[in-house]
């Protein structure tokens, strides 16, 4: 009888293993708070926000300055057609010429050739005409056929004496004749000269095809070029710049 009672009592029990109740779990230790790390994280966030703000402010701090669109030869002033305005980041260490000062800039002359796409700096200009050291400006009057049709200020040219009369050698000895002929009869006067200015053609010069140029040459070559120019015997040819 006791065996049957035990069997009957066991039959009513569940076969699943008994689970421990929630109250039987081990207590977890409280999380350790680290105020120093929290403060560091907040500081890093603030520094990052401040840096982003400074970048935005710097990107917005821009000024309108002058940029050259056409080559400006040495000794020439700025014309409205030679320049345009561009926006650049403000920088006190760079001597930009602001667009608002264009009228003042027009009263100055370029100290040396300023090429297109150059942002203008104040030191590029000065009062009055300024020639590079060791250079001389020589005016020449050329007839049609003595210059390239597309010649312009800033071009590099070779200068020739095209006097074929041989007048430069008359009355000279044989030794002097060969030297004079090289400079007065088809000789090369200047290998690389710079076209400083090109005069605007008037109605008279357009009809005759004549052209007036100012050439920038070494001082040692100036006398020979001026002498040939006075005789109307100068011709110029385009060459690659050096």
DSSP lists the bridge partners of residue 211 as: 142
CB 234 within 8 A of CB 142: yes
pLDDT class for 199, splitting at 50, 70, 90? confident
CB 136 within 8 A of CB 189: no
- The residue extents of the domains of the chain are 62-126, 135-238
Average pLDDT, rounded, for the chain: 77
Express each pLDDT in 50-83 by its tens digit.
877 776 655 568 899 999 999 887 778 899 999 9
The SS3 of residue 82 is: helix
CB 80 within 8 A of CB 70: no
Express each pLDDT in 116-139 by its tens digit.
999 999 888 888 656 777 888 899
Percentage of the residues of the chain whose pLDDT score is greater than 90: 31
pTM of the model: 0.46
**Class of domain 62-126 as given by CATH:** alpha beta
The SS3 of residue 197 is: strand
Given the structure tokens 């790390």, which residue do they identify? 37
Supply the pLDDT for residue 3. Answer: 53
Per DSSP (E only), the strands in 129-210 are 135-142, 156-161, 188-198
């Amino acid at each position: 009888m006791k065996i049957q009672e035990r069997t009957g009592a066991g039959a009513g029990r569940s076969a699943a293993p008994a689970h421990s109740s929630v109250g039987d779990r081990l207590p977890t230790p409280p999380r350790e708070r680290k105020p120093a790390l929290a403060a560091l994280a907040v500081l890093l966030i603030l520094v990052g926000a401040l840096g982003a703000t400074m970048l935005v402010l710097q990107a917005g701090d821009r000024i309108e300055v002058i940029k050259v669109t056409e080559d400006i030869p040495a000794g020439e002033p700025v014309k409205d057609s030679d320049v345009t305005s561009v926006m650049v980041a403000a920088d006190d260490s760079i001597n930009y010429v602001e667009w608002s000062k264009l009228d003042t800039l027009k009263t100055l002359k370029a100290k040396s050739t300023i090429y297109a796409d150059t942002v203008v700096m104040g030191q590029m200009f000065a009062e009055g005409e300024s020639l590079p050291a060791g250079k001389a400006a020589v005016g020449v009057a050329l007839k049609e056929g003595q210059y390239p049709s597309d010649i312009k200020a800033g071009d590099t040219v070779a200068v020739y004496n095209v006097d074929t009369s041989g007048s430069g050698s008359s009355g000279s000895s044989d030794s002097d004749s060969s030297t004079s002929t090289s400079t007065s009869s088809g000789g090369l006067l200047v290998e690389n000269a710079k076209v400083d200015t090109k005069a605007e053609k008037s109605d008279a010069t357009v009809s005759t095809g004549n052209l007036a140029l100012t050439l920038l040459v070494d001082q040692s070559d100036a006398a020979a070029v001026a002498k040939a120019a006075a005789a109307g015997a100068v011709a110029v040819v385009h060459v690659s710049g050096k």
